Amino acid sequence: MRSILDTLISPSQNAFVPGRSIGDNVLLAQELFCGYNQRNLPPRCALKVDLRKAYDTVEWDFLKAALTLFGFPEQFIQWIAECVTTPSYSVCINGAPHGFFRGARGLRQGDPMSPFLFVLVMEVLTLILRQRIEQNGGFSYHWRCEAVQLFQLSFADDLLLFSKAEPNSIQLFKDGLMVFAELSDSRRTYRRVTLFYPGRRPPPGIPYWLYWTSRKDTCLRYLGLPLLASRLSISDCQPILRKIEARIKGWEGVMLSFAGRVQLIKSVLSALQVYWAMAFILPKHIIKEIEKRLRNFLWKGNLDTGYAKVSWQQVCRPVNEGGLGIRDIHSLNKGLMSRHLWRIISHDSNSIWVSWIFHYRLQNSSVWTIRTRKGTWGWRKLIRLRDALRPHVVYQIGDGTSFSLWHDPWHPRGPLLPQFPLGPRHTFIPSSAPLSTVISEDTWSWPHITDMESIDITHDLPTIHGGQDRILWTGPRGSFSSAAAYDLFRPPGPTVDWTSLLVGTFRIPRHRFILWLAVQGRLSTTDKPWLQHLGSGCVLCQDGIPESHEHLFFMCPFASECIRAIRREVFFHWPYYNWSSVIRWASARWRGKHVVNAAYRALFASLVYHLWQERKLSGLSAYLTPYRGDS
- Over the stretch 474-533, which tens digit does the pLDDT of each residue have? 876 668 988 889 999 998 889 998 988 888 778 889 999 999 999 998 888 877 755 665
**10-24, 212-226, 563-577: which has the minimum mean pLDDT?**
212-226
Q: Give the per-residue pLDDT at 248.
A: 95
91-133 residue pLDDT tens: 888 888 877 888 888 888 888 898 899 999 999 999 999 999 9
- What residues does each domain of the chain span? 2-226, 235-327, 398-468, 497-620
27-79 residue pLDDT tens: 999 999 888 877 778 888 899 888 776 777 788 999 999 999 999 999 999 99
Residue 521 region by backbone torsions, left for phi larger than 0, else alpha for psi between -120 and 50, else beta: left
Q: What is the CA radius of gyration of the chain?
A: 32
Looking at this protein, which amino acid is placed at residue 147? A
The Cα angle at residue 418 between residues 412 and 419, in degrees rounded to 5: 60
**Pairing mode, strands 443-444 and 158-163:** unpaired
Which residues are within 8 A (CB) of 376 and not within 5 positions of it... i.e. 6 or more apart? Answer: 30, 31, 34, 228
Per-residue CA distances from 540 to 511, 530, 536, 547, 627 (Å): 20, 20, 12, 9, 6
Burial class (CB in 10 A: 0-12, 13-18, 19+), 601: buried
Is the model's pLDDT at 450 over the cut of 70? no
Is the model's pLDDT at 211 over the cut of 80? no
Burial class (CB in 10 A: 0-12, 13-18, 19+), 340: buried
pLDDT band at 630 (very low <50, low <70, confident <90, very high): very low
Is the model's pLDDT at 623 over the cut of 70? no
What is the share, in percent, of the chain residues with pLDDT greater than 70?
Answer: 90
Per-residue CA distances from 202 to 43, 220, 276 (Å): 10, 17, 31
What is the share, in percent, of the chain residues with pLDDT greater than 90?
Answer: 42
Q: 3-state DSSP call for residue 450?
A: coil
Per-residue CA distances from 240 to 21, 229, 286, 295, 302 (Å): 21, 20, 9, 16, 17
Q: Give the per-residue pLDDT at 216.
A: 47
State the virtual CA torsion across 535, 539, 545, 549 in degrees, nearest 10: -100
Is the model's pLDDT at 628 over the cut of 80? no
Helices and strands (H, E) in the chain, number of each type: 24, 13
pLDDT, mean of residues 168-189: 81
**244-248, 456-460, 571-575: which has the minimum mean pLDDT?**
571-575
Q: Give the per-residue pLDDT at 576.
A: 63
Give pTM, 2 decimals.
Answer: 0.87
Q: Give the per-residue pLDDT at 585.
A: 87
418-447 residue pLDDT tens: 888 888 888 888 988 999 999 998 899 888
The residues facing 394 across adjacent strands are 472
Is the model's pLDDT at 337 over the cut of 90? yes
